[in-house]
């Protein structure tokens, strides 16, 4: 819940972004009370304290005319189905594709899908309204009617309008820049935004799958290269390797059986590489006859499909 000066952010500005639950406001005395709400099953107090801390800059941003927080509140209503699909989006603030830390935290707290934010950011202006220079402000002030300038100065000196300076600065910025940020040529409906978010998600998942496939192919190439180098280093040592297998089996230790299995795999691949598969099968049949009583060993070789 945010308490904002009504003369800086009135209910008439917030209402286009309001939904049934996620964004609401009401005016009380000289203030506008703005509320964000979302149901979160895994909400805890620690997360809540972090959220409250993030409200501080959001309040200041809203007072300075940055309405992105309001749009995010409306957007979560779209995501939750509170906004009818044929409803048009409210005024689109600039820089929705460049959320700062506090707004990023707000989006995370509200649980807004990143693809949905990307869909809205496509139509959001990339640059903020430019900050006017001192010369531009001076020219704007000189253009004000004398009575209006006198009233502003009187209220500033009297101190009865604590937010008057900010209010006048916002007005000057908008008028110097030719009014509010321009709206997109055609505002989209909530349904159109959701459909675009789905398309973005599909494209993103496709690219991620392609990247995973490229990474997997690279890993397989690297593994194949390493395997090829290993087999090349073992070529001509087949008799030594078969002898090592016999010694490992003779220990009758299951851990040694695993070592023997790894060596037999090397011998299998070496035989395939040299076209001596028949010789390998003959050696394996002899191994099976000689060690048929070693049930654990035979089961290991059968499971590895090294025995017929």
Q: What is the pLDDT of residues 262-297, one digit of tens each?
A: 999 999 999 998 899 999 999 999 999 998 888 888
pLDDT for 44 equals: 53
pTM greater than 0.85: no
**Residue 172, CA distances (Å) to 13, 130, 133, 138, 140 in order:** 18, 11, 11, 10, 7
- Reduced to 3 states (helix: H, G, I; strand: E, B; else coil), residue 8 is coil
Indicate if the pLDDT at residue 231 is higher than 60. yes
List the 31-36 sheet strands across, edge first: 2-5, 31-36, 23-28
The answer on pLDDT for 240 being more than 90 is yes
Mean of all residue pLDDT scores within the chain: 83
pLDDT at 37 over 80: no
Q: 207, exposed or middle or buried, with CB in 10 Å at 0-12, 13-18, 19+?
A: exposed
Nearest to 76 by CA among 103, 101, 100: 103
18 or 8, higher pLDDT: 18
Residue 189 has pLDDT above 80, yes or no: yes
Measured CA to CA, the distance from residue 71 to residue 66 in angstroms comes to 10
Task: Using pLDDT thresholds of 50, 70 and 90, give the confidence band for residue 174.
Answer: low
The residue with greater pLDDT, 171 or 234, is 234
Q: Which residue has the higher pLDDT, 144 or 182?
A: 144
Determine the pLDDT at residue 41: 53
Q: Is the pLDDT of residue 203 over 90?
A: yes
Mean pLDDT value of segment 240-260: 91
In tens, the pLDDT along 111-159 reads 899 999 999 988 877 655 566 778 877 887 888 788 877 777 776 777 6
């Amino acid at each position: 819940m945010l308490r904002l000066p009504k003369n800086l952010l009135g209910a008439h500005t917030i209402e286009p972004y309001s939904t049934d639950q996620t964004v609401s406001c009401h005016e009380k005395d000289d203030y506008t009370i703005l509320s964000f709400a979302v149901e979160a099953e895994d909400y805890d107090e620690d997360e809540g304290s972090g959220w409250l801390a993030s409200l501080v800059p959001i309040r200041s941003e809203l007072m300075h005319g940055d309405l992105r927080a309001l749009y995010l509140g409306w957007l979560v209503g779209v995501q939750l189905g509170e906004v009818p699909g044929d409803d048009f989006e409210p005024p689109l603030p600039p820089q929705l594709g460049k959320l700062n830390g506090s707004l990023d935290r707000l989006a995370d707290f509200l649980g807004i899908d990143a693809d949905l934010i990307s869909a809205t950011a496509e139509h959001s202006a990339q640059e903020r309204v430019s900050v006017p220079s001192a010369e531009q402000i001076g020219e704007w002030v000189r253009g004000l009617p004398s009575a209006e300038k006198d009233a502003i100065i009187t209220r500033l000196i009297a101190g009865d309008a604590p937010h008057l300076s900010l209010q006048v600065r916002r007005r000057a910025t908008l008028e110097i820049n030719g009014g509010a940020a321009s709206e997109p040529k055609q505002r989209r409906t909530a349904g159109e935004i959701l459909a675009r978010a789905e398309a973005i998600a599909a494209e993103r998942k496709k690219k991620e799958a392609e990247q995973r496939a490229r990474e997997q192919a690279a890993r397989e190439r690297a593994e194949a290269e390493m395997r090829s180098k290993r087999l090349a280093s073992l070529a001509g040592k087949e008799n030594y390797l078969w002898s090592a297998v016999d010694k490992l089996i003779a220990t009758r230790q299951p851990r040694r059986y695993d070592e023997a299995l790894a060596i037999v795999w090397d011998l299998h691949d070496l035989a395939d590489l040299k076209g001596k598969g028949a010789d390998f099968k003959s050696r394996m049949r002899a191994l099976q006859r000689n060690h048929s009583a070693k049930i654990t060993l035979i089961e290991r070789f059968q499971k590895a499909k090294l025995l017929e």
